[in-house]
Structure 1
Amino acid sequence: MWQYTQKIFLVVIAWSGCIGNLSANKTVLYIGGLYQSVAVPGVNEEMQYGTKKALDFVNANSHILKEYELVMIENFTSIDLATMAGDALGILYDFIYEKPQLLMLIASSSSLVAQPVCEVASHYNLLQMSGSASSPGLSDRDRYPLFMRLYPSDTILVRGWEALLRHFRWKRVAIVLENAEMFSLRHDARIIIVLAHEEMARQIMCQAYLNNVYGQKFVWILIGWLKAGWYLERIGEDDVTCSNTDMKSVLDGHLSIKVSSYSQDFNKVNFHGVIPTETDLKLYTKMKSTYYFAGFAYDTIVYAALALNHSEKLLANMDPPRHLEDFTYQDAEMANYIKESAKGLQMHGVSGQVELSTTHDRISDLIIEQMQGKLPPTDGVKKIFVNLLQSLTIRIVTFVLSSLGILFSILCLILNAKFRNMKVIKISSPVLNAFIGIGCILFYIVLILFGLDISDVPPSLIPVYCSRVGDTRLTMAIVVMIVIDIAMVVVWLAVDDLRSVAIPSEKQITALIRNPHQVNTSTLNRDHQKQANYRGQHGGANSKSATVEALQKTLDAVGVFCLG
């Protein structure tokens, strides 16, 4: 009962506001307007202001609907998210089943209201327009065939975020989403996008302060149409315990993205051939400095009036002629005329160039703003590689010594190969000598490579030159080298086994030569010792020569030369 009384009251206000301007020759055309509760300031207040000024402009202009007076009947839904859509549908049915007859519906500023209302209104052939509903779902032409909006879909913000992220080369982003019950805040990134209205945005910013998610390491990206000083208004919000200083600390340097809401040059404003007066231009300047959404609401009403104006001309040429006041909720033909007239309109309005896409969405520019002058941080830890070079003198000395080392190693390899049969080289193993020489050459080459300036390396070789060996790969390389060494030792032992040889002292050698029968030969090689003892027991001079022969073999085995 209260809702019905409120509606009648508002209708009387709408009518009485225009009765003084009506002339006896003009026919009244009614359009419906849905808004949220008057107790909620902000968007609805701005939309109503822009709508009122646009209606004054249209009704005072002789080039737009000159035979008609355009009047809006307003009504308001509750602000309760649970009942808002139901209230709006109730108001829509009141509009439809009670007089006066509506020709068009200006949809709610809230997408939660606009979606169910516009879906139902299409069944009654009511064209719907909106200057602020931004849900991407409203772009569905099958579900909302008679809906148009002069405010872009939220998908345009996605393109703005993408451009911003590409510009700063940010790849990791957290998004804080608002729904009817919950917010989710992620801390796994330093770039945080917030999609929330003012009250919830204040709670998020306060939580960010309490959790130290702010400062030079973080960037907060917010919706740009939040009104100035939105973070300072916390009357009755028990969830926000942060002070004004705390809130400013979090928001210092934050970015905001919003749709361009006003023309950059009001002298370009041209409503499809209708030029505003100087008084109108002053009003536009005032609106720009005070309101964000008022320009969209203004252009929505003018756009609707121009569509009706063009439709009236088409209807008058029909046989028999028809007129806008003949419209009924069963008249799909006239609704289609109005829709086609609206689709073909182009104008430069208060909010800028007005042009609709194939989905009947506004095509618009974006504005990206930053609070104060904070520099953009990175989106995480970045690795920065710096070339650390020794002085040119040290590098030259290193190159020269390494080159000399390479030449010396090559010389050693040549000598090792040429004299590999000499006993002094053979006893040190020519093969191992060769490996040592090659290793030395490689070591000197590495010294030269590590001393090069990166600018001296061809670009195609930089990735190879700068590649790093990890701990795992380095460990595996060492293990492989150890296995190779073990294999080489095993093969060596199998081919040329090691033998223990007792080297006699100088006194033993002298005594053995002089008197081989009286010398203790226990220190001689076991096989040679047995041979010497046998021969010593079976014959004079032969035993001495046999002992000397055994001694000579022993000395040869250890590489000792006997002279004399």
Structure 2
Amino acid sequence: MTFCTTCPSKLMLLGGCSTVCTTIGEAAKMWNLVVLSYGSSSPALSDRQRFPTFFRTHPSATVHNPTRIRVMQKYNWSRVAILQQAEEVFISTVEDLEVRCKDAKIEIVTRQSFLTDPTDAVRNLKRQDARIIVGLFYVNAARRVLCEIYKHQLFGKSYVWFFIGWYEDNWFESHLEEENLNCTKEQMKMAAEGHMTTEALMWNKDNEKTISGMTAGDFRVRLNQALMERGFENRSTPVGYQEAPLAYDAVWSVALALNKTMERLTDVNKSIEEFDYSNKEIADELYKANERHSVPGSVGSSCLQ
């Protein structure tokens, strides 16, 4: 992590996914920088000892686990399997799921993981006669998993797969050639048929005006219009569409935090322009400004955490 020594000091960092924010969030404290993320779901990022200056508008991935447990209980599924990509966000989510399964008297018959190639992991699920399977992986890995599901015939009425709900529309039909997947669209559709997904509520359901002067519905209309102008009207929604309201809230959070910090510094005859990477006093004010407020009337459903 390097900074231009002749450029103005950065006051805060705005980050995206968990993989990126795990790195910058852990290092940012060395430069007295607050990090705010709109797309990080890794439960590990809630560790204040490891990420002391990290905030996010995106909920932790563990919010899905109670729903998964309730569905399992509803259908009396007492034996489940887990297939995960070897990324920290999924590892920490599975650790939480294992605890919840134990409390609910649900047996985890096997836990398989893979880095890039899921072939052996899916084959092991077949050997273990896994029928109810929770899958946790990024979308490109999900396509590889789905292709292996088809090859090993782990689909149909005897199997239930739980996938993550934030993949883009028709994710199992796209990028097959460029990712060199040896499955056709029809085969991918067959393997994907009947899978379940869970996702956190991203949009505020209140029809009240936010600090921006828009309701969540107004923001959605403006967002969709902007996408149409960029040629998305005849295509599926782009990657990151679901996080758009959380990203919008994150930008407002940055603005409000900066305003609040400038107000507090003015009271003690200081200026935010005095900040550099050794100035812990101003860094602490930026931290407090983020810690003490959420976005008033957010278009997204999650508060700053």
Pairwise TM-score range, normalised by the shorter structure: 0.7 to 0.9
Deviation at 1:350, TM superposition (A): 1.8
Give matches, 1:127-206, under 5 Å: 127-179=34-86, 180-183=115-118, 184-185=121-122, 186-187=125-126, 188-206=129-147
Which of 172, 175, 189 is the matching residue for 1:248? 189
Q: Provide TM-score, normalisation by structure 2.
A: 0.77
Change (3 A) 1:182 1:224: same
Q: Which residue in 1 is equivalent to 2:111?
A: none
CA contact (8 A) 1:287 1:294 kept: no
**Residue 33 (structure 2) pairs with residue 126 (structure 1):** yes
1:214–1:300: structure 2 CA closer, same or farther, 3 Å change rule?
Answer: same
- Superposition deviation, residue 157 in structure 1: 2.2
Q: Distance in 2 between matches of 1:197 and 1:311?
A: 37
Structure 1 residue matching 2:11: 3-state secondary structure = strand
Q: Give the structure 1 partner of residue 13 of structure 2.
A: 105
**8 Å contact 1:219–1:253 — kept in the other structure?**
yes
Query: What are the superposed Cα offsets for residues 83-138 of structure 1, whole Å, 9 maximum, x if unpaired?
Result: xxxxxx3xxx135x34022111112x232322222222111111101111222221
Which secondary structure state, in structure 1, belongs to the residue aligned with residue 40 of structure 2? coil
Structure having the higher helix fraction is 1
Which residue is equivalent to 1:20? none
Residue type at the aligned position of 1:330: S
Q: 1:235 aligns with which of 177, 188, 191?
A: 177
* One-letter amino acid of the counterpart of residue 270, structure 1: T
SS of match in other structure, 1:349: coil
3-state SS of the aligned residue for 1:231? coil
- Matched residue, 1:454: none
Once residues 98 and 134 of structure 1 are traced to their aligned partners in structure 2, the CA distance between those partners, rounded to angstroms, is: 34
Deviation at 1:248, TM superposition (A): 1.2
Instruction: Please tell me whether the aligned partners of residues 284 and 350 of structure 1 are also in contact (alpha carbons under 8 angstroms).
Output: no
Deviation of 1:287 (Å): 7.6
Q: Does the alignment pair 1:300 with 2:241?
A: no
Question: Once superposed, which parts of structure 1, at least 4 consecutive aligned residues long, lie more than 6 Å away?
Answer: none
2:34, 2:287 within 8 Å by CA — same for their partners in 1? yes
Does the alignment pair 1:351 with 2:300?
A: yes
What 5-or-longer segments of structure 2 have no aligned partner? Answer: 87-114, 228-235
Letter in 2 for 1:173: V
Shift of 1:257: 0.8
| TM-score normalised to structure 1 length | 0.43
Asked if 2 retains the 8 angstrom alpha-carbon contact of 1:316 and 1:322, the reply is yes
Counterpart CA distance in 2 for 1:123 and 1:206 is: 43
Greater relative contact order (Cα < 8 A, sep 6+): 2
CA distance in 1 between partners of 2:218 and 2:134 (Å):
40
Shift of 1:281: 6.1
Instruction: State the structure with more CA Rg.
Output: 1
SS of the residue corresponding to residue 228 of structure 1 reads: coil
Kept in 1: contact 2:53–2:287 (CA 8 A) = yes
Q: Is the 8 A contact 1:307 1:338 kept in 2?
A: yes
Contact 1:287 1:295 (8 Å CA) reproduced? no
Could you say what secondary structure the match of 1:341 adopts? helix
User: How big is the shift at 1:148?
Assistant: 0.5
RMSD: 2.3
Give the residue type in structure 2 aligned to 1:276: M
Please tell me whether the aligned partners of residues 17 and 37 of structure 2 are also in contact (alpha carbons under 8 angstroms).
Answer: no
Q: Deviations over 1:17-74 (max 9, x none)?
A: xxxxxxxxxxxxxxxxxxxxxxxxxxxxxxxxxxxxxxxxxxxxxxxxxxxxxxxxxx
Matches within 5 A, 1:344-383: 344-346=292-294, 347-352=296-301, 354-356=302-304, 360=305
Residue in structure 1 matched with residue 3 of structure 2 by the alignment: 94
Once the two structures are superposed, the pairs formed by residues 405-554 of structure 1 within 5 Å of their partners are none
Q: Tell me, what secondary structure is at the counterpart of 1:204?
A: helix
Percent identity, aligned pairs only?
30
Cα displacement (A) at 1:323: 2.3
- 1: CA distance, partners of 2:116 / 2:172: 21
Q: Distance in 2 between matches of 1:279 and 1:226?
A: 24
CA distance in 2, matches of 1:330, 1:94: 13
Aligned mates of 2:51, 2:165 — CA distance in 1: 27
Q: Secondary structure at the match of 1:214?
A: coil
* Aligned counterparts of 1:355 and 1:261: Cα–Cα separation in 2: 11
